[in-house]
């Protein structure tokens, strides 16, 4: 709870061009939940450097991501949209929570295993303790709810364990966060291999719809999406390609998968793919236009970065000071 309201925290890394998976699995839910909670949406640039980044590219992408949050429908006057690196409490709390997290717990994280296999030449300590920084993000804001895709559930469970461990020793310091996972869009699969999740770091460009893709590109990628030879639109695990397209269409049109199946009864895959492509393209277009406008408006965006950075800093520091007292750090002399 913050300001007498339930609070919400989530974040994304500016490590590539966002995909439709990021949008339907996370960002879209953020917008839906925004009115109900005191919201903090961070561009988690400190997490990004667990994998080597080109500085100029990271800076540019971070700004693009922050504007994309707004373009997707988050009102920056009501929601605290900010850069993680502008609030030093994230790093300070992460240090403390590192001392309350076991190596064994971190060793079990599947994202660490995946990323260290992928970046075998740079298995740094930050990659290993990434989930502790994520726990700090969440716990700093006394967060009640964390909207994420399914792949982040293991990290969230760890954040809850750390909070519980800390509270058991020092009393009720942290709110216990809950994950919020959308019913249908929580895991959008690759268009080229429906057994894999759609990911912004996939090397095959046809596997992902990027939020920056033009309508023609979107339609072309859906036309090429891997399906099967059943020639029947059913919502079944035996047809993972079609199931994925139904999920995408379902979230975009706010229809249930059953309603979608009904709508396309007797129709061919070609018609269905076209409908999915057109629907997705029509959702992306206004977001792209708004983002382009915002990126031109430097003073407005700078104002948001400053004001929201200060707001995030205020709430984060409150929790940090409490934690520092609890663990026995000396009081500051004013």
Pairwise CA distance, residues 264 & 269, whole Å: 9
148 binds ligand LTN (CB under 6 A): yes
Catalytic residue selected from 115, 221, 243, 273: 115
Contact 84, 137 (CB under 8 A): yes
Q: Which of 13, 101, 208, 324 binds ligand LTN (CB under 6 A)?
A: 13
202 phi, psi to nearest 5 deg: -65, 135
The verdict on whether 115 is a catalytic residue reads: yes
165 binds ligand ATP (CB under 6 A): no
Residue 138 CB, shortest distance to ligand LTN, in Å, is 5
Catalytic residue selected from 78, 196, 200, 273: 200
User: First vs last Cα of the chain: how many Å apart?
Assistant: 28
Which residues, 6 or more positions from 239, have their beta carbon under 8 angstroms from its beta carbon? 227, 228, 230, 232
Q: CA neighbours within 13 Å on the CB side: how many for 295?
A: 15
The verdict on whether 200 is a catalytic residue reads: yes
Angle, helices 55-71 vs 269-296, to 10°: value is 110
Residue with Cβ nearer ligand ATP (43 or 163): 43
Residue 189 CB, shortest distance to ligand LTN, in Å, is 17
Which residues, 6 or more positions from 1, have their beta carbon under 8 angstroms from its beta carbon? 7, 142, 144, 175
The verdict on whether 255 is a catalytic residue reads: no
Catalytic residue selected from 78, 118, 197, 255: 197
Residue 54 CB, shortest distance to ligand LTN, in Å, is 19
User: With CB under 6 A as the contact rule, which of the stretches 135-143, 147-155, 307-315, 317-325 interacts with ligand ATP?
Assistant: 147-155
277 binds ligand ATP (CB under 6 A): no
Residues in contact with ligand LTN by the rule CB under 6 A: 9-13, 44, 47, 134, 137-138, 146, 148, 152, 155
Q: Annotated active-site positions, please? A: 115, 197, 200
């Amino acid at each position: 709870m913050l300001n007498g309201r339930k609070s919400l925290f989530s974040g994304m890394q500016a490590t590539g061009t966002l995909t439709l998976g990021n949008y339907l699995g996370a960002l879209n839910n953020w917008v839906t939940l925004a009115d109900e909670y005191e919201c903090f949406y961070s561009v988690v640039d400190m997490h990004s450097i667990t994998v080597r980044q080109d500085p100029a590219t990271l800076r540019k992408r971070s700004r693009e991501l922050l504007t994309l949050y707004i373009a997707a429908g988050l009102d920056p006057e009501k929601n605290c949209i900010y850069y993680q690196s502008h609030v030093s409490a994230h790093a300070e709390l992460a240090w403390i929570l590192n001392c309350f997290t076991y190596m064994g717990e971190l060793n079990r994280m599947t994202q660490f295993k995946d990323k260290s296999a992928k970046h075998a030449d740079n298995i740094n300590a930050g990659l290993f303790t990434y989930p502790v920084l994520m726990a700090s993000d969440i716990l700093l804001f006394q967060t009640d709810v964390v909207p994420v895709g399914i792949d982040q559930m293991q990290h969230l469970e760890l954040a809850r364990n750390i909070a519980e461990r800390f509270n058991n020793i020092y009393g009720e310091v942290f709110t216990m966060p809950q994950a919020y996972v959308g019913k249908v869009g929580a895991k959008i699969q690759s268009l080229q291999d429906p057994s894999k999740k759609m990911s912004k770091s996939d090397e095959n460009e046809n596997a992902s719809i990027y939020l920056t893709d033009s309508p023609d590109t979107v339609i072309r990628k859906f036309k090429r999406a891997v399906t099967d030879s059943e020639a029947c639109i059913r919502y079944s695990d035996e047809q993972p390609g079609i199931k994925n397209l139904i999920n995408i269409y379902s979230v975009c049109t706010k229809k249930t998968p059953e309603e979608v199946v009904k709508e396309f009864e007797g129709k061919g895959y070609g018609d269905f793919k076209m409908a999915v492509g057109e629907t997705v393209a029509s959702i992306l277009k206004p977001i792209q236009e708004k983002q382009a406008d915002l990126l031109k408006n430097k003073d407005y965006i700078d104002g948001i970065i400053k004001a929201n950075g200060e707001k995030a800093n205020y709430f984060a520091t409150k929790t940090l000071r409490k934690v520092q007292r609890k663990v026995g750090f000396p009081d500051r002399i004013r």
